[in-house]
Amino acid sequence: MSTSSPRARALGSAFSLSDFDFDLPPELIAQHPATQRSGSRLLDGSSTTLVDRIFHELPSVLRAGDLLVFNDTKVIKARIFGEKASGGKLELLIERVLPGHQVVAHMKVSKKPLLGGKMYLAGGARQGGFDAVLLGRWPDENGQLFHLQLSDEPHALMEKHGVMPLPPYIERPAGTAAHADTAEDARRYQTVFARAPGAVAAPTAALHFDEGVLAALAARGVHTASVTLHVGAGTFQPVKTENIAEHTMHSEWYEVPEATQQAIAACKARGGQVVAVGTTTVRTLESWAKFNQASGDTQIFITPGFEFQVVDRLITNFHLPKSTLMMLVSAFAGYEHIMGLYRHAIAQRYRFFSYGDSMLLNRALRG
């Protein structure tokens, strides 16, 4: 991890990409979820004294009147395999569904098809699959994504022919399609309250919640509300510039319903704390507060120095080195505190990333 000193930070030195790097033993990258959702571990980092807990203990460390805010997005089976008219193999990862059976997608292929080129997914329409035509790049002619016209309704096609878009660091047995899902993945790489289809990556901090924990929270007097942010593949996009201010953040669609806005206002009025479940919920709530817009696209990039307006506490998984999410949690709980938590987690063999364990953070520990 970085050797930058607290004194250097106090003197205002700028953060760079290497400050958010750390050595992670590869065996700590979780390849499968815990046997039970709430049986995962929870590192309670809400004070300077770290406490190793089990996730089902969460209700005991929240207070009556607090408000948990979840991201209710639903992961779609967005990864689909097919071939070009020439026979070349390709893979699509559908990032966003547009009106008129159109989609925006990432494409893996040896040679990109030409404008108007036809693709046959899952065998093509004549073999029980479907067809796609390339309309251009997205969002403009220099975009990295592809704009496609599908032969039928995208969500129905993905549900029938797609596979769960597991993160690149989750491996499955040889002989299966690249990053193919299993019955376990179809069930567990989805929250128990997923409602709004549109994500290509799970809001992973919410994967630890099950009906038992939700019931215990309600019994304790903890309120709940939801927002929607359709997590895009850009969440795994590496930061390539040492000067993090030069990084271009990916765009994701979000919504903060009126009922959730009212629940937040009521929580603040009664002296409760707003507890965001996951970094996607943080990005949603702080986008709403910063831009005074309850829905739309956000490219908010939260780095140390960011002034939080809504979120008081955060439940989050352990993130990739040198990622925008490492920067976000460092902004929230303080850089030195986060680096100490990660050192503790590695020493205590916590499980990392999407199927890994989680931690509880308090905004009061900024630094």
Please say whether the dihedral angle defined by the alpha carbons of residues 161, 167, 168 and 174, taken in this order, is positive or negative.
negative
Return d(Cα 285, Cα 254) in angstroms, integer: 9
Q: Please identify which residue in the block is written with the tokens 């004294």.
A: 49
Q: Are 325 and 235 in contact (CB under 8 A)?
A: yes
Greatest mean pLDDT among 171-175, 221-225, 235-239 lies in 221-225
Of 106, 109, 94, 158, nearest in space to 130 by CA: 158
Residue 310 three-state SS: coil
Going by pLDDT thresholds of 50, 70 and 90, the confidence category of residue 180 is low
Q: 255 pLDDT exceeds 50? A: yes
- Mean pLDDT check: name the lowest of 118-122, 142-146, 258-262: 142-146
The identity of residue 319, as a single letter, is H
Handedness of CA 129, 133, 139, 144 (dihedral sign): positive
User: Crossing angle of helices 279-291/324-333, nearest 10°?
Assistant: 70
Q: What is the pLDDT of residues 184-209, one digit of tens each?
A: 999 999 999 999 999 999 999 999 99
The answer to whether 41 and 53 are in contact (CB under 8 A) is yes
Q: What is the mean pLDDT of residues 297-308?
A: 96
The pTM for the full model equals 0.92
Q: Where along the chain do its domains lie?
A: 6-75+186-362, 79-161
Note the pLDDT of residue 5: 42
Return the minimum-mean-pLDDT range out of 39-53, 97-111, 165-179, 241-255: 165-179
Please say whether the beta carbons of 222 and 59 come within 8 A.
yes
pLDDT of residue 68: 98
Q: Are 299 and 323 in contact (CB under 8 A)?
A: no
pLDDT of 142 = 87
Least confident of 112-116, 140-144, 259-263: 140-144
Per 3-state DSSP, the chain is made up of helix, strand and coil in percentages (nearest 5) of 30, 25, 45
Note whether 192 and 209 are within 8 A (CB): yes
How many degrees, rounded to 5, is the angle at CA 358 between CA 357 and CA 364? 160
Residue 260 neighbours by CB under 8 Å, 6+ apart: 69, 225, 226, 227
Predicted pLDDT at 364: 63
Q: Quick count: other Cβ atoms within 10 Å of Cβ 299?
A: 12
Q: Which fold has domain 6-75+186-362?
A: QueA-like (3.40.1780)
The single residue listed with the structure tokens 């008081």 is 312
Q: Give the residue with greater pLDDT, 5 vs 203.
A: 203
Residue 296 region, left (φ>0) first, then alpha (ψ -120 to 50), else beta? left
Q: Which of 57-61, 166-170, 225-229, 323-327 has the lowest mean pLDDT?
A: 166-170
The mean pLDDT of 354-358, rounded to a whole number, is: 98
Does pLDDT of 360 surpass 90?
Answer: yes
pLDDT band, residue 173 (cuts 50/70/90): low
Provide CB contacts within 8 A for 27, sequence distance 6+: none
Place of tokens 């986008």: 287
Beta strands in the chain (DSSP E): 41-45, 51-54, 67-71, 73-75, 79-84, 89-98, 102-109, 118-121, 130-138, 145-150, 196-199, 223-229, 252-255, 274-277, 295-298, 313-317, 358-362
Q: Between the ranges 135-139, 177-181, 262-266, where is the mean pLDDT highest?
A: 262-266
Question: CA 20 to CA 327: how far, in whole Å?
Answer: 7
Q: How far apart are CA 36 and CA 184, in angstroms?
A: 12
What is the amino acid identity at position 237? Q
Half-sphere exposure for 118 (CA within 13 Å, toward CB): 9
**Cα R_g (the chain), whole angstroms:** 21
Mean pLDDT of the chain: 92
